[in-house]
Chains A and B, each alone.
Chain A
Amino acid sequence: MTALQVSVWRGGANGRLQRYEVPRYSSQTVLDVVTHIQRRLDPSLAYRYACRVGMCGSCAMTVNGVPRWTCRTHVDKVANDGRLELRPLRNLPVIRDLVADMRSFFDKWERAKGHFAGAATKADDFARVAPDSPARHAADAGIECIGCGVCYAACDVVSWNPDYLGPAALNRAWTLVADVRDAKTVERLRAIAGDAGCHACHTHLSCTERCPKHLSPTASIAGLKRAVTKAALEGKL
């Protein structure tokens, strides 16, 4: 059995990397490595996880410089030379060790009006949205987001312009704009247009490259740009 050399961020924004040696196992995930450190080597290590199966989106960290979901990232794939460097997610304040403060990330979902607003009442029949309709396909393409923050950490525009809503909030807004039941499309488009919204995206595709669910926030943002342009030309903005 070989050992992994693991450097882990300890402390807050002005912390430092601390080295640990972790036994190497087959089918070992990065989250397994962090859990080993916390349970066997250093119980004071702070990190976050819940489901361990790629559903909850809480275990994302920076692994060898790349934001990843750690519960589904196998050590085999990211540490060929037997070394791992683990840091908290970029573009978010560090609370402690590997735990980033996600408040600004989710506050931006609010700013992007990321909640459903329909017009139907309980007296109305169910909305019928054909599964193969273009609108349904457009919404489906972005709907599986688990809110892990990987895209947000991968986005250079967020690091340059902290007001920028970011790929996840814009992707969420797009799934609602593309929803035929949406009753507040214009308010939503007003919220996501402009310097801090969809127009700030440089189409670097880092979010699309890194999204563990293989979504394309870049495509969603392009959809928002089209929807905002149409609304502006029709005088609705």
Chain B
Amino acid sequence: MSARSDTLLWIAQRASAALLALCVTVHLFTIVYAVRGGLSAAEIFARTRGSAGWFAFYTVFVIAVAVHAPIGLRPVLTEWLGWRGRTREWFVAAFGVLLAWLGMRAVLTVFG
């Protein structure tokens, strides 16, 4: 990786971290609010189905996770396993795609 690519990845990780701080806060407050009178699948679906606002919010949340986590995984793989080079980059890219797919599948199920 070039100095420029590494720097852009670092910026992307910090920017996604800022988004995650906001998203996690909203998510936790929503959970606390939602379970006040007990929790049921029907109640959740009633709130989420067809809600464009929540759909957009959780889409942003999933994208931020899919950007943030794989970039953070790169130094972990190098420092713990000594894994460097192109294979590491393909692995973390695949991990990012997996997170995005799993996350968006859940979002589409709950909001679709």
Interface residues of A (CB under 8 A from B): 157, 160-161, 189-191, 193-195, 197, 199-200, 225, 228-229, 231-233, 237
Contact with A along B51-93 (1 / 0, CB 8 A): 0000000000000000000000011001110001000000000
- Selected from A190, A195, A232, the residue in CB contact (under 8 A) with B75 is A195
Q: State the main secondary structure of chain A at its contact with B.
A: helix
Q: Is the CB of B79 within 8 A of A193?
A: no
- Selected from B2, B10, B79, B84, the residue in CB contact (under 8 A) with A199 is B10
- Residues of B81-112 whose CB lies within 8 A of A: 84
**Which chain B residue shows the least CB distance to A192?**
B3
Number of interface residues of B (CB under 8 A): 15
Given the contacts A194-B1, A195-B74, A200-B75, A237 and B7 also touching, CB distance less than 8 Å: yes
Question: In the complex, which residues of chain A have a beta carbon less than 8 angstroms from the beta carbon of B79?
Answer: 157, 160-161
CA distance A232 to B1 in the complex (A): 14
Given the contacts A237-B3, A237-B4, A225 and B75 also touching, CB distance less than 8 Å: no
Question: In the complex, which residues of chain B have a beta carbon less than 8 angstroms from the beta carbon of A197?
Answer: 3, 6
**Interface pairs (27), CB distance under 8 Å:** A157-B79, A160-B78, A160-B79, A160-B80, A161-B75, A161-B78, A161-B79, A189-B3, A193-B4, A193-B6, A194-B3, A194-B7, A195-B6, A195-B78, A199-B6, A199-B7, A199-B10, A200-B75, A225-B10, A228-B7, A229-B11, A231-B7, A232-B4, A232-B7, A232-B8, A232-B11, A237-B3
Q: How many A-B residue pairs have CB under 8 A?
A: 46
CA distance A160 to B84 in the complex (A): 13
CA distance A225 to B3 in the complex (A): 12
Given the contacts A195-B75, A200-B75, A232-B11, A190 and B3 also touching, CB distance less than 8 Å: yes
Q: A195-B1, A229-B10, A232-B8 given; name 9 further pairs at CB < 8 Å.
A: A193-B7, A194-B3, A195-B75, A199-B7, A199-B10, A200-B75, A228-B7, A232-B11, A237-B7
CA distance A189 to B3 in the complex (A): 8
CA distance A157 to B7 in the complex (A): 18
Question: In the complex, which residues of chain A have a beta carbon less than 8 angstroms from the beta carbon of B4?
Answer: 193, 232, 237
CA distance A70 to B3 in the complex (A): 38
